Structure 1
Amino acid sequence: MQPADLDEALTEQFEINRELWEVALEPWGSGVLPSAYELARARRSLQETLPNEGLGFAQTRDHILNDVVPGLNAASLSPNYYGFVTGGVTPAALFADNVVSTYDQNVQVHLPDHSIATDVEYRALGLLTDLLRLDRQIWQNGTFTTGATASNIMGLACGREFVLRAAAERRGSPVTSVGEYGLFEVMQAAGLSGVQVLSTMPHSSLGKAAGVLGIGRANLKSICSTSQDDNNPLEIDMQLLERELARPDRASTVAISCGEVNTGRFATTGIQQMQEIRRLCDKYGAWLHVDGAFGIFGRILYHPFSPEFSSITKGCEGMELADSITGDAHKFLNVPYDCGFFLCRHPSSGLAEDVFRNPNAAYLSSGKATATDTIPSPLNIGVENSRRFRALPVYASLVSYGRNGFQDLLQRQIRLARMIADWLFDHPAYTVLPTSRTKAELLHKTSMIVLFRANDETLNQELSKRINGTSKMFVSGTVWEGKPACRIAISNWRVDEQRDFAIVRNVLGRVAQM
């Protein structure tokens, strides 16, 4: 491509972006999923072999817009896409993401004389801690990742480094860093036979992280209470927790589910419980990690306090006592995929650097920190070297909407979820899960997610397929207590309680009569 052609292509690209923005920002009224015809047509249009002569920009543009785009779902565009806690893309985030693509910064090394990209990321982390009502002096340490999976890998990796380092140091061994010496060597030095992760109903990404890090998926252990006296499936058995932490042959990380994926509920119920967990972790040298995914954003409801959301604010209390917190910006913050975050309150200990340091790359020597640097090079504290400038849409969203804007969004999402749960509780064809003794109890515990199943077994086996087949809304199929169930996860910024409730009620009402 010649420079003149490039200039022309960029000009045309800006015009296409403008058109796409207009489509993306207008009220969404089309089907949530593409039709079978649109999917088949889009697949047939895809090039099977690489041509010797390219199609050129104009023809490729038309191919993408006319053939490929109709085969994509409206996960981020439609407020009625309730699968996978997808979220959407706010106008501010969409604008910033186009700037990200145009300027294409590789945010791996802090080069203050070259770019402010790392400054933007650092400030965005600070604004995020403000939103989550965390002490910026303690928590403005972390990085943006591809999502909760990468963030949970970082949390467990830092936890593994912390607990094994402490165990090896107690035995007087100089072999203390897993990042430097390897897992087997440090475990031998520490006199341990294994590392374990203790949690209640953890997200699957924690199991994946345990597998990646050599901890082992089999060592992700449940500490769920078997009593279920208060109908909380995430309840922690505190006696079991202490027995596991006290094992002399194991080092432990405790992972708190702050927003369980199927129900949206919380593993803890207030500051006193978190204080006790913190005490036990300190007593036995364990790392305390919070998988905040989307539930951690309930902290923005603290002020002004409202009894309407007390179960959610109680579930988020004490998260500042953790050692690390992960969350997804591409969920509640409604920024484009992919974007997660990892926060750690131990910057001075060098845990992240010991695990993720990028060694022996001479061409990156200019990225070494100096004594006056407050911003670390991201490649030394995270999984990736090459990194997209994903912090800019986060920064733009936080600046654009502020604490009150996100608080309003979360309140609308919760109120819609409770309207749906209220209606389903009385519907003879459906049961809301986990089962509640009273409607008041159900509504009190409902946050952004409604889990339910059909009472008729035949209908329940294909319930998600029938709902999604209407293309008016989309739900995730899941399993609860060994049986199929459906999950409505409300996370899009376009949510409108009355309009969206009417759509959900009409679809589920018709499906129940099929």
Structure 2
Amino acid sequence: MDTETFLSTSYTRIRASASVPPGTSVPTLPHPSLLSAARTSFPSILPTQGQGPTSTLTHLTRDIAPALAGHNLSGRYYGFVTGSTLPIAEAADNLVSAFDNSAQVHLPGQSISTEVEDVALRMLIEFLKLGKAEEWAGRTFTTGATASNVLGLACGREGVITARLREIPGKEEDGGSVGELGLIRACAEAGVKEIQVLTSMGHSSLYKAASVVGLGRASVKDLPVSPLEPWRLDLDAVEEELQREGVASIVVVSAGEVNTGRFATRGLEDMERLRELADRYGAWIHVDGAFGIFARSLPETEEFAQLRESAAGLELADSITVDGHKLLNVPYDTGIFFTRHSSIPPAVFQNPNAVYLSSSSTSTIPSPLNIGLENSRRFRALPVYAVLLSEGREGLATMLARMTQLAQGVADALLSNLKEDYELLPETASVPHTHIVVLFRARDPGLNAVLVQKIQDSGEWYVSGTKWKGEPACRIAVASWRVNVQEDLAFVKERLTNIAKEWKESR
């Protein structure tokens, strides 16, 4: 069998092992016996003689594949804001593997990859209603929201310190930068004793990013507006913090918060005030919009008016994080980073002294290696391009609407016919404010302690376990293109009803 035939046959076999006929219920998690069988199938040492591709493929499809989580194959995997993969995105990703282009250097005479990436990023800016692509001159793909948040804090650090260096008499043109001088020396010369990150219920990756870029996890300050709305950013407190002498600030807006899906700002008015404060005091605004930013692209109907209003004004930020492998339903790993400042990413991420990696100085498309973390990177733009082209604005908006409608339907049920046994969280939760995340708990403390495990053990659906105000809670995150609103809502309501009934009967 020649290589091309083998590759074609192997792909057919792998897809067959993961095929999902319409209407078929697929387990969200593998049965423990399948996990055990897969573990016992591992070789104890590297074989001296290889098994060969045919035998290895059999092992992969027979032993390994059944022991993998089914979130891509089940529309009822509601954990971690984990999207499925649209078939067209999977097809594009197979092309990515087949051609194996590294998309880090713009070499238009050799590959179209960087131009596809540029088109995909431009279309995504349009879809997210962020303005003109030219307004977001620094744009690139990353591995996900964590990497994009690293870029956001790195660029923010660069922006706020470089601006202060240029205020020094005689150094207006070139006072240096963090990328060139290093963080300690640049801060010393700029008279900055501290860089702080101001946020409200920031994602855990924000603290990780702060550590990676040398600011430290302790630099992240939580400024909630109140205990009732801890996800909302207290703009009065932000203004007070921005006035601290010798302190530079990066403001991170969560859109939306991971447990509740809620937004740190209430809309355009809040963002306009935040923009004015940042401009007045020389701060940087970064939006962690991994999944919440997609609320901007929901259909322009009254049904989603509250969510679109909550996401209004995010275009006023200096930089934005987006996750493609969440609501856009492209494969892991796909993140996106946008910044308005074309000169700042190269100041941080330029790859000096590598003439062989340089593209033409006249090119309008910069080599991605000078605006992101990696020097080598997968051509992850192609699945995004394929989805945007295949589904279009209306198709994607309809897909996002289905996700939101299911989440809102579950929230409504928790407030009505399920309210005797379950409580929708937080206390101020409402259906119009529900995007794709539903947070809730069982009212019976005993059931609440085991609720997540009971759901997961069924294998029929999956939810994330979390905590809210120190108590266990369940979190449903709807992020799959496979959503069928009526069927899935009836399923969730029936299963929650049965769980509560069985619990009562067992007491």
**Band of TM-score, shorter chain:** over 0.9
Cα distance in structure 2, aligned partners of 1:39 and 1:299: 40
Instruction: Compute the TM-score of the two structures, normalised by the length of structure 2.
Output: 0.95
| Residue from 323, 328, 332 that aligns with 2:323 | 328
Deviations 1:266-301 (A, max 9, x none): 111121111000000000000011100111011113
| Residue from 99, 114, 126 that aligns with 2:95 | 99
Cα distance in structure 2, aligned partners of 1:376 and 1:27: 46
* Structure 1 residue 289 corresponds to structure 2 residue 286: yes
Aligned match of 1:66: 62
Aligned match of 1:199: 199
SS of aligned partner of 2:166 = helix
| Residue from 433, 454, 462 that aligns with 1:474 | 462
| Residue from 332, 346, 352 that aligns with 1:353 | 346
The answer (yes or no) to whether the contact 1:299–1:317 under 8 Å persists in 2 is yes
Change (3 A) 1:306 1:232: farther
- AA at the equivalent of 1:339: T
Change (3 A) 1:24 1:195: farther
Change (3 A) 1:432 1:335: same
Aligned match of 2:152: 155
Aligned match of 1:48: 44
Cα distance in structure 1, aligned partners of 2:199 and 2:176: 26
Unaligned runs of at least 5 residues, structure 2: none
Deviations 1:16-60 (A, max 9, x none): 356367x15754412111111111111111222100000100000
Cα distance in structure 2, aligned partners of 1:219 and 1:369: 40
SS of aligned partner of 1:401 = helix
Offset at residue 355 of structure 1 (A): 0.4
**280-289 or 411-420: bigger deviation:** 411-420
Query: Where do residues 289-328 of structure 1 align in structure 2 (5 Å cutoff)?
Result: 289-301=286-298, 305-328=300-323
Cα distance in structure 2, aligned partners of 1:358 and 1:394: 26
Cα distance in structure 1, aligned partners of 2:376 and 2:499: 47
Aligned match of 1:82: 78
Aligned match of 1:433: 425
SS of aligned partner of 1:115 = coil
Offset at residue 332 of structure 1 (A): 0.6
The answer (yes or no) to whether the contact 2:439–2:474 under 8 Å persists in 1 is yes
The answer (yes or no) to whether the contact 2:25–2:460 under 8 Å persists in 1 is no
Change (3 A) 1:34 1:48: same
Aligned match of 1:122: 118
Aligned match of 1:397: 387
Offset at residue 502 of structure 1 (A): 1.7
Deviations 1:308-354 (A, max 9, x none): 2122111111111110011100001000000000011111xx10001
Aligned match of 1:19: 16
Aligned match of 2:401: 411
The answer (yes or no) to whether the contact 2:127–2:297 under 8 Å persists in 1 is yes
Offset at residue 91 of structure 1 (A): 1.3
- AA at the equivalent of 1:404: E
* Structure 1 residue 503 corresponds to structure 2 residue 494: no
- AA at the equivalent of 2:196: Q
SS of aligned partner of 1:376 = coil
SS of aligned partner of 2:410 = helix
The alignment of Structure 1 onto Structure 2 pairs a total of residues equal to 496
SS of aligned partner of 2:43 = coil
Offset at residue 139 of structure 1 (A): 2.2
- AA at the equivalent of 2:347: D
Aligned match of 1:263: 260
Aligned match of 1:370: 361
Aligned match of 1:242: 239
Between the two proteins, what is the percent identity of the paired residues? 47
Offset at residue 171 of structure 1 (A): 2.4
Offset at residue 10 of structure 1 (A): 2.7
- AA at the equivalent of 1:506: E
Offset at residue 388 of structure 1 (A): 0.4
- AA at the equivalent of 1:340: G
Query: Which 4+ runs in 1 deviate beyond 2 A?
Result: 4-21, 24-28, 171-176
The answer (yes or no) to whether the contact 2:144–2:335 under 8 Å persists in 1 is yes
Cα distance in structure 2, aligned partners of 1:155 and 1:110: 23
- AA at the equivalent of 1:467: I
Cα distance in structure 2, aligned partners of 1:379 and 1:17: 33
Unaligned runs of at least 5 residues, structure 1: none
Cα distance in structure 1, aligned partners of 2:269 and 2:70: 42
- AA at the equivalent of 1:272: E
Cα distance in structure 1, aligned partners of 2:421 and 2:222: 33
